[in-house]
Amino acid sequence: MRNFPAFIRSFKCPSTSFIILCNGFSVIVKKFAYSSMVVMNSAKQGTSVWNSVIQNYLRCGKLDDARRVFDETPSPDVYLYTMMIAGYSRNDRLYEALQLFYKMPVRDVVSWNSMMKGCLDCGNLDIARKIFYEMPERNVISWTTIINGFLQFGRIEMAEVLFHKMPSKDTAAWNSMIFGYCSHNRINDALRFFKRMPFRNVISWTTMISGMDQQGNTDKALFLFRQMLDSGMIPTSSTFCCVLTASAKISAFNQGVQLHAHLIKLGYVFDAFVSTSLITFYANCEKIENCSKIFQENLHINVVMWTALLTGYGLNNKHEDALDVFYNMIKVGILPNQSTFTSALNSCSGLEALDSGKEIHGRAIKLGLDEDVFVSNSLVVMYSKCGNIHDATTVFNNMSSRNIVSWNSIIVGSAQHGCGVLALEFFDRMVNAKVQPDGITFVGLLTACSHARMLDKGREFFDLLTRDASIEVKSEHYACMVDILGRSGKLEEAEEFIKIMPVKANSMVWLALLSACRVHHNLEVAKRAAQHVFDLEPHSSAGYTLLSNLYASAGKWNDVSHIRWMMKHRGIVKQPGYSWVTLKGSKHRFVCGDRSHPLNDKIYQKLDLLGAKLKELGHVPDQSFALHDVEDEQKEVMLSFHSERLAIGFALVSTVEGSTIRVMKNLRVCGDCHSAIKLISKIVGREIIVRDSSRFHHFRDGNCSCGDQW
Ligand code: ZN
Ligand code: ZN
């Protein structure tokens, strides 16, 4: 004790501070981080000082300092060795852990078990197995640890062999096997073991219920829960959480409500996990008012519960409320976590609110959470959906780790912005990074080819897709391929392609063909495609609108009238077109000929001015896009005030000169507006980004990124 090294006498580590005073044989350790004070007098107690010093170094992750103290410890005991070894394994320094382990003068079963567990934590099953076979004696923990190890590495057969060899199997070992089977999609084996086990505890039931649910057997999971109650087993809060999650998944509203009543009786409603599951359950059942009630009734609201509420609002398309929850949470001093940011950013995407998205991005950076893969993925989606593919790309390129969602988000985003080459570049990088593409990747690639009119590349990707047995070819893929063929003017080939499709074409596929007919003015194919759309989806207005526009552009007003009559006769209402601009968190919405905006006069003045300039530049309004039953002069007036132009007018009078304008539209932008906006971008010298129902158009200096086909 007298030989305490100098560096121990006073040292600091990030989370705890100690002052160790050596006073003869007595040592006083003051732990400021914890309020305890330990006073020790004898040499025996001295060992615990070494222990606590090493322990605290290990807690701070200062392994080398811990080792230095360890090396100076006079005859360290088994406990100290085991602690040091565990420290190395936790920090992935298996080699040093093993070296120390084999240097131990005596080893007990705890140290053997701990070394074996350390190997597994460091991902080395082989050494763990070697240690298991070297052990002079094994207890039930040794067996369970190695069985868990085999299960963790997917070596189910080896786990089974060992399980059968295990001299006395306790419930924990049985539970491990059930959990292992469930996590490797072997639900029937799990159930077989569950039925065979001599004694089931609450963990056995909960594992089985959760496993059933995760394997998609939600009904059976709920049935099992009823069986559990009948058997007299008392569920824990984890069981309730699993059951609520299952009920949420299949929107089993009545079941969930019954459970809720049960939870109130048992007094579980104030358990944070249970309340969170209840919020998620009601959000899934579209009963968001119940979510906020549960939230408000809770006294101990933590970040998880705030996030559940925020996510719930998002799930119910109440994105403004979701963002209110986010800001309220910050107001009361709760720090958002990764999931909070992910949900909040998803709501920004839902609102296409770039300003709020940027602001939340800033907060994530401050908290150091912007590099989290889930947060980054949401950022990529948010920037791209809000019309800023440049920032989406920057976020993506700065990511330190990426998953399939990251790659898909950037590929789909680039495709929707018409940046076909960029999308293909990302795909090449994805292949180089050895990430296996999935169905969504191909939707992105095919969309990219269609918007960038890359017919050959499109065929190539479709070929690649159909040859990949692991990916199911869905209607979306066929629709994309029809779109690619159609946009390239290969309308007959597209029609033929639909006919020989292995699955029956849905309305989405025929609509893709119909849209292509509009671009290439092919009435014959259009009529046939439209008929299929009418048959498949008799109440949707999309097919009627497209065909009517086609007739209008061909000047066939009688046919236009006929379609209008059909729509009226069948009770189909055309979806009204509207456009909006989001400025400083509020949405400014316009419909055609709208005069209700507070800045109305300024907007119309601006548009009149632009109208005159457009005329000077030789822009002749294309009457076919206006309502057909009004006089020509009036048509021109109507065209100038289509919703997207009002939105642009508003953006022009209320944003800084030179800044990018972002407009969203629920329908496709009309041909006349498209050519007018091209010129407007040149007149005002600003980039105008319009997202319509089909894609993003980037208007710059008199041109559009879509190359006039959309
Ligand atoms: Zn228009
Ligand atoms: Zn365009």
Among all ligands shown, which has an atom nearest to the Cα of 709? 2
Alpha carbons 344 and 375: distance in angstroms, whole number: 10
Sheet of 10-12, strands arranged across: 10-12, 17-23, 26-31, 37-40
Which position has the token pair 């190890």?
149
Sheet of 703-704, strands arranged across: 586-591, 578-583, 661-665, 688-691, 696-700, 703-704
Ligand 2 midpoint to CA 188 (Å): 54
Q: What is the pLDDT of residue 273?
A: 87
Among all ligands shown, which has an atom nearest to the Cα of 636? 1
Alpha carbons 683 and 128: distance in angstroms, whole number: 72
Among all ligands shown, which has an atom nearest to the Cα of 710? 2
Ligand 2 midpoint to CA 676 (Å): 11
Ligand 2 midpoint to CA 692 (Å): 9
Ligand 2 midpoint to CA 662 (Å): 13
Q: Exposed/middle/buried for 404, CB within 10 Å: 0-12, 13-18, 19+?
A: middle
Ligand 1 midpoint to CA 106 (Å): 85
pLDDT tens per residue, range 421-470: 999 999 999 999 999 999 999 999 999 999 888 999 999 999 999 998 88
Q: What is the pLDDT of residue 610?
A: 93
b (16+ CB within 10 A) / e for 442-479: bbbbbbbbbbbbbeebbeebbeebeeeeebebbebbbb
Q: What is the pLDDT of residue 635?
A: 54
Query: Could you tell me which residue, 33 or 657, shows the higher pLDDT?
Result: 657
Among all ligands shown, which has an atom nearest to the Cα of 549? 1
Tell me the average pLDDT of the chain. Answer: 87
The model's confidence at residue 44, banded by pLDDT at 50, 70 and 90, is: very low
Ligand 2 midpoint to CA 516 (Å): 15
| pTM as predicted | 0.76
Residue 166 DSSP class: -
Residue 474 DSSP class: -
Q: In angstroms, what CA-CA distances link 451 with 39, 118, 197, 690, 697? A: 75, 53, 59, 15, 10
Residue 311 has pLDDT above 90, yes or no: yes
Residue 302 DSSP class: -
Alpha carbons 179 and 174: distance in angstroms, whole number: 9
Q: In angstroms, what CA-CA distances link 60 with 9, 13, 14, 424, 458? A: 17, 7, 7, 46, 54
Q: What is the pLDDT of residue 26?
A: 30
Q: Cα dihedral sign for 95, 96, 97, 103?
A: positive
Among all ligands shown, which has an atom nearest to the Cα of 676? 1
**Closest Cα partner for 635 from 647, 616, 620, 618?**
620
**Closest Cα partner for 645 from 618, 665, 627?**
665
pLDDT tens per residue, range 520-539: 889 999 999 999 999 999 88
Ligand 1 midpoint to CA 641 (Å): 8
Ligand 1 midpoint to CA 317 (Å): 28
- Is the distance from CB of 369 to CB of 343 less than 8 angstroms? no
The H-assigned helical ranges of 488-591 are 491-499, 507-520, 523-536, 542-553, 557-569
Among all ligands shown, which has an atom nearest to the Cα of 667? 1
Instruction: Return the bridge partners of 26, or none.
Output: 23
Q: Enumerate residues with CB within 5 Å of ligand 1 (an ion).
A: 642, 670, 673
Ligand 1 midpoint to CA 545 (Å): 14
Ligand 2 midpoint to CA 589 (Å): 21
Ligand 2 midpoint to CA 601 (Å): 28
Which position has the token pair 């894609």?
695
Among all ligands shown, which has an atom nearest to the Cα of 707? 2
The contacts of residue 100 (CB under 8 Å, 6+ apart) are 81, 84, 85, 88
Ligand 1 midpoint to CA 525 (Å): 25
Instruction: Return the bridge partners of 580, or none.
Output: 589, 664
Q: Beta 688-691 vs 661-665: how paired, if at all?
A: parallel
pLDDT tens per residue, range 342-382: 999 999 999 888 989 999 999 999 999 999 999 999 999 99
SS (H, E, C) 368-390: CCCCCHHHHHHHHHHHHHCCCHH
Tokens of 710: 């959309």
Q: Beta 696-700 vs 703-704: how paired, if at all?
A: antiparallel
Tell me which long-range contacts 227-231 makes (C-beta under 8 A, separation of at least 24). Answer: 231/200
Ligand 1 midpoint to CA 341 (Å): 37
Ligand 2 midpoint to CA 518 (Å): 15
Ligand 2 midpoint to CA 605 (Å): 25
Ligand 2 midpoint to CA 709 (Å): 7
Q: Cα dihedral sign for 550, 552, 556, 562?
A: positive
Helix (H) or strand (E) holding 28: strand 26-31
pLDDT tens per residue, range 212-248: 999 889 999 999 999 999 999 989 889 999 999 999 8
The model's confidence at residue 266, banded by pLDDT at 50, 70 and 90, is: confident
The model's confidence at residue 494, banded by pLDDT at 50, 70 and 90, is: very high
Query: Could you tell me which residue, 366 or 518, shows the higher pLDDT?
Result: 366
* Coil/strand/helix, residue 155: coil
The model's confidence at residue 475, banded by pLDDT at 50, 70 and 90, is: very high
Ligand 2 midpoint to CA 677 (Å): 9
Alpha carbons 686 and 334: distance in angstroms, whole number: 41
Residue 309 DSSP class: H
**Closest Cα partner for 552 from 579, 528, 526?**
526
Ligand 2 midpoint to CA 349 (Å): 22
b (16+ CB within 10 A) / e for 555-573: eeeebbeebeeebeeeebe
Among all ligands shown, which has an atom nearest to the Cα of 625? 1
The model's confidence at residue 155, banded by pLDDT at 50, 70 and 90, is: very high
Ligand 1 midpoint to CA 393 (Å): 30
Among all ligands shown, which has an atom nearest to the Cα of 665? 1
